[in-house]
Structure 1
């Protein structure tokens, strides 16, 4: 087996950097535009504008753009939509600490596990009955049950999802996030929920962080802090779900061969290990508030870059061929998660009237 001498590493890194730079600059430019849109309309965030702009520009690729441009930006687009996506997941860990996980987890874990279980079972059973493609129903299921675009970002490389499937799943989750911002405060007031209970509901039943912030702010400022912490702890569900999906994918590839404990460990994606390591380091308090805020913003921007790359590489005909069924599946799962969250809160005695 031949190995490249260590002396060639800088040259190879330089060549790789030159190769991906044009496409990375394109995705960064789209992410900047998306960030500006998100600043003007906070409920949108930057993820959805990034993927929408990317999809729109993908319609121009090979048509209005001069010859050769597409070939030059393709490596950087692939780099953004894969490696930068995984790096963004690692940086998401800086939003969590062991203390907050333990404190909030004791109260919210039963509700999180129940809603997640109902959502994933619903995605599998209802999605199959509706003839929604396997990877797409998985993405919609984890996006609805865990944390929207972040969960989709983490799971998509594990299951090998196509760009069109990722784009459809993100768009579907976004639609119901917008509806949640409008409807959840009305629901909370109609049920006479106190701020703490509404924060628990919003944190476990609304997917994207920006939408949780928006809905809790509309309901009452007292509900905001708890809702956001519940939502961030809910993000941890990415880890066991991604590991489980890795094992399932490996069993498929191995034709059902037995998986040893050692092999299961090797299936854990590196970026999930990084996510846990960053969360543990953040728990020690060694990361000052300023740098931590920068890392949080960096993770959001990298996700926007990654989704811009996914949008640019989206197969538009495949997106159209998906039809209405995945959207209907998203609506059903959204209602199921909301009702399950309310029911579990009531059963566990957390419902405040």
Structure 2
């Protein structure tokens, strides 16, 4: 067994212990990726994606359906504003920076909705090339890594409430994994709010991908639209928790939520491992500048709105 593989397994054991956390998982993954390389690169693709989706669905067992509805309703105005604002500003900035149409569309969609998942769904719809997908994913992944560490610090520094931080992280951080990771660090109430609002935001993948498939329809054939089914499993899990008969002990649901948190931690570890030196080199300054400027605008504006209205 190579040194990298041995360290990989030791890291997984450590992260599954009481000392592990989402932020630490991402940091350890980054350190291993940038020093020893990813010993299991195939795990950072579909396995990490499915693990994230299963973990998010299981988080529903820790939430009441009424609270899910209330959180989603409270965040809907923020979601609509961010989705359309990010798409508009991203398009204009992309034109100013002379970024190719498909790349600016992918980065704008990733910022507007749910990061890598939105890019993966929209990419086939607009017939994006592999290098365009890689550049866009790399940009979003780097910014998500920064957000996971930075947002809890800002939230604590501004003495945000659990509800405020949950809504802010859900509308200002791109990927679901980093949203849930940051909210987990901040508190259980923030986690419940952030997960619900984030999944409501993720539902925009479907109409957006369909709209872009129509816009890029020339030579597009039948576009493949990825439907985020795990969101409905999350709502179903919350319904089970809400209407469960009295003979089902709450500890059963708590155990499922603990499994979800462990799955999320390992997901972030795998995401950290995927951020290789090659990916960092291939991103390029223009797409990264677009993603960074757009993210700062959205995060700052949404922070001001949340502090004022929530």
Q: TM-score, normalised by structure 2?
A: 0.68
Match of 1:220 in 2: none
- Maintained 8 Å contact 1:48/1:171: no
- Rate the CA distance shift 1:200–1:268 in 2: closer, same or farther, 3 A: closer
Match of 1:125 in 2: 92
Q: Which residue of 2 aligns with 1:340?
A: 301
Matched, 1:267 2:225: yes
Say whether the 8 Å CA contact 1:81–1:306 is kept in structure 2: yes
Alpha-carbon contact 2:106-2:119 (below 8 Å) kept: yes
Cα 1:143–1:175 change in 2 (3 A) is farther
- CA-based RMSD of the aligned residues comes to 4.2
Per the alignment, residue 57 of structure 2 pairs with 93
Q: Indicate conservation of the 8 Å contact 1:88/1:298, yes or no.
A: yes
Q: Confirm or deny that 1:331 pairs with 2:296.
A: no
Unaligned ranges ≥5, structure 1: 1-21, 62-72, 218-223
Q: Secondary structure at the match of 1:131?
A: coil
Q: Does 1:284 align with 2:251?
A: no
Please give the residue correspondences for 1:188-203 in structure 2 after superposition, counting only pairs within 5 Å. Answer: 188=158, 196-197=163-164, 200-203=167-170
Aligned residues: 281
Q: CA deviation at 1:114?
A: 1.2
Superposed displacement of residue 177, structure 1: 4.2
Contact 1:205 1:338 in 2 (8 A): yes
* Residues 38, 206 of structure 1: alpha-carbon distance in 2 compared, 3 angstrom cutoff: farther
After TM superposition, give the deviation of residue 129 of structure 1 in Å.
Answer: 2.2
1:338 deviates by 3.1
The answer for unaligned runs of 5 or more in structure 2 is: 125-129, 245-251
The answer to whether the 8 A contact 2:23-2:148 is kept is no
1:82–1:248 distance in 2 versus 1, CA, 3 Å = farther
CA contact (8 A) 1:213 1:228 kept: yes
Q: 1:102 Cα deviation (Å)?
A: 0.5
Deviations 1:143-164 (A, max 9, x none): 5445xxxx33423433266455
SS in 2 for 1:329: helix
Whole-angstrom CA distance in 2 between matches of 1:145 and 1:172: 13
The match for 2:117 among 154, 177, 192 is 154
- Confirm or deny that 1:46 pairs with 2:25: yes
Task: Say whether residues 1:110 and 2:77 are aligned partners.
Answer: yes
What is the distance in 2 between the residues matched to 1:235 and 1:246? 20
Task: Quickly say closer, same or farther: Cα 1:277–1:178, change in 2 above 3 A.
Answer: closer
TM-score, length of structure 1 as denominator length: 0.61
Alignment of 1:282-321 (within 5 A): 282-285=238-241, 288-305=253-270, 308=273, 310-311=274-275, 316=278, 319-321=280-282
- Residues in 2 aligned to 1:250 and 1:38: alpha-carbon distance in whole angstroms: 49
Instruction: For 2:110 and 2:171, locate their aligned partners in 1 and report how far apart those are by CA, in whole Å.
Output: 12
Q: Which has the larger radius of gyration?
A: 1
Q: Deviations over 1:299-330 (max 9, x none)?
A: 4424533653x44xx581x6424333333333
